[in-house]
Structure 1
Amino acid sequence: MDDKLREQLKFCRLPGIVECYDDILREARDNSWNHEQFFSNLVEYEVIMRENNRFNRLFKQAKFPNLKTIEQFNFSEAPFLSKTEVMELFSCKFIDQNTNVLFLGSPGTGKSHLLISIGIEACRQGKTVGFFTAAGLCNQLIEMQEEQQLLKFLKKINKLDLLLIDELGFVELSNQATQLMFQIFSERYEKGSIFLTSNLEFAEWAKVFHDERMTAAIIDRLIHNSKIMLFNGSSHRLLDQQKKTKKAQ
């Protein structure tokens, strides 16, 4: 590639073509491609590079605690789940429909694993995603309120295509945190998807929010237009530990 063409491609913001041009030109000559085949391969490389860059950016912005994939999930240890229903969530249609997803059940049954893996797939499909534990989100909300940055933070949250909230129920929330969480649920009501996991049934949520009226209002907003899945099996972590113990013996 001559310098003039390189600069023109950079000016047009086509870094993928700049990167692959010489290799694809060589392959085109070796395989006697016509002009359309040559151009098509250049464009395909550019598109793939942009998709990868977009995914990396969205993945970084989401702030997942770790990398989880559906391939790592063992459905044989989760007979209480419908694999078909779980895999349907990976289409991410629920995000386009502003549908909430609630995973409720015992700790260690795979709720967080699936939450993260579906969130990663959403990033792959170009969706903006934000991951928080319930306690972590509450702490940030209180901190932003004290620093008079709450409106800015809420605006950022509300722009997300998908808000992931993990581990609701492990920590009891203060009255201030409850009111701030209610504000998020209210502002995203029918406008943006919330994907939430909890180790508690709805009847026990008042223990977390300390206000029965507020709890009822939160549940009402979450379950309207929602998909609820129950995780009522043995802990995956306990099963893994039992397997390791047997092998050691």
Structure 2
Amino acid sequence: MRKEIMEYQKSLRLSSNLMDIYPGINADSQEEFLLKLLRELHKDREEKRRLRNLKNAGFLVIKSLDAYDYSQIQFPDALNIYELESLSFLEKKENLILYGSVGTGKTHLSVALGAKAINQGKKVVFYRVHDLINQLESNDERQVSRVYKKIQESDLLILDEWGYLPLHQEGARLLFDIISNCYETKSIIITTNIEFSKWKGFLFDEKLTAAIVDRLVHHSHMLIFTGKSYRMINSLMK
């Protein structure tokens, strides 16, 4: 009988944990048992989806908002800490630009927000800008297609190290395509230590730079990180 149950389980694509779940269910009727079983199966499926989305996001290290220090961040008038952590900007398809010196916690905050979004059922993708461009310039058409599909299906795109390395003309054009495709359809978080006036220095073309800035700044909030490098501070304390 167990073997037959497992065959139906596989055919119906039910949780592989079915045989572990149902023995622990207490119910006064068959209907109640079925309801509780379905609840547990749904819970198990959602948890597996969450873990899969967390893995597929591309985070280098998972971060959390727990005890995050906002004391060295200047918030715009239209956004406060509560609204940021509630992820209300996602529902509005708004962008975040995290600007400040290296090591001040920009990447940590972006990843922590992304991880929370995934925990709430959203799809998130994380790329270092230069890594993204390298993948889009690959000769492997299937890989390029996967990248575009992954971004298209996401609710939030995180672009880390914006401006860290200069792009050539084709790379800048590819980045413009990504930003344009995301415009008003999903949120983007950018981490950068480069002020707007200097973006032309790594985006190659003045008109392209203006077009990218226009799409990013519209519906966006800028958070300015004013603190010293956490990595430098921790290194000096050792």
Task: Give the whole-Å Cα distance in 1 for the aligned partners of 2:137 and 2:2.
Answer: 57
Distance 1:14 1:132, change over 3 A: same
Task: Give the whole-Å Cα distance in 1 for the aligned partners of 2:52 and 2:143.
Answer: 24
Task: Give the whole-Å Cα distance in 2 for the aligned partners of 1:214 and 1:157.
Answer: 21
What residue identity is the alignment partner of 1:58?
N
What residue identity is the alignment partner of 1:175?
Q
1:14 corresponds in structure 2 to: 14
Would you say 1:179 and 2:173 are equivalent positions? yes
Deviation at 1:96, TM superposition (A): 3.0
SS at match of 1:132: strand
Q: Which runs of 5+ in 2 are unaligned?
A: none
Does the 8 Å contact 2:75/2:222 carry over to 1? no
- 1:44-83 paired onto structure 2 within 5 Å: 44-71=39-66, 73-76=68-71, 78=72, 80=74
CA-to-aligned-CA distance 1:166-208 (integer Å, 9 cap, x gap): 0112111111111111111112211222111111111111111
Task: Give the whole-Å Cα distance in 2 for the aligned partners of 1:81 and 1:234.
Answer: 17
Q: Which moved more, 1:108-117 or 1:14-23?
A: 14-23
Equivalent in 182, 188, 211 of residue 182 of structure 2:
188
Task: Give the whole-Å Cα distance in 1 for the aligned partners of 2:126 and 2:220.
Answer: 19
Give the greater-gyration-radius structure (CA).
Answer: 1
Q: Which moved more, 1:164-173 or 1:4-13?
A: 4-13
Would you say 1:120 and 2:118 are equivalent positions? no
CA-to-aligned-CA distance 1:65-111 (integer Å, 9 cap, x gap): 111111152345x35458x8344233333223222211111111111
Q: Which moved more, 1:152-161 or 1:168-177?
A: 152-161
- TM-score w.r.t. the length of structure 1 is 0.81
Task: Give the whole-Å Cα distance in 2 for the aligned partners of 1:121 and 1:219.
Answer: 27
Task: Give the whole-Å Cα distance in 2 for the aligned partners of 1:179 and 1:231.
Answer: 29
Deviation at 1:11, TM superposition (A): 4.4
Does the 8 Å contact 2:73/2:225 carry over to 1? no
Does the 8 Å contact 2:125/2:150 carry over to 1? no
What residue identity is the alignment partner of 1:21?
Y
Distance 1:224 1:79, change over 3 A: closer
Q: Which has the higher helix share?
A: 1
SS at match of 2:197: helix
- 1:204-219 paired onto structure 2 within 5 Å: 204-219=198-213
Task: Give the whole-Å Cα distance in 2 for the aligned partners of 1:195 and 1:137.
Answer: 14
CA-to-aligned-CA distance 1:209-247 (integer Å, 9 cap, x gap): 1222211110001111112211122222223234x24xx
1:43 corresponds in structure 2 to: 38
Does the 8 Å contact 1:10/1:18 carry over to 2? no
Total equivalences in the alignment: 233
Deviation at 1:58, TM superposition (A): 0.6
Would you say 1:222 and 2:216 are equivalent positions? yes
1:232 corresponds in structure 2 to: 226
Task: Give the whole-Å Cα distance in 2 for the aligned partners of 1:149 and 1:10.
Answer: 30
Q: Which moved more, 1:156-165 or 1:216-225?
A: 156-165
Deviation at 1:40, TM superposition (A): 4.6
Q: Which runs of 5+ in 1 are unaligned?
A: none
What residue identity is the alignment partner of 1:208?
F
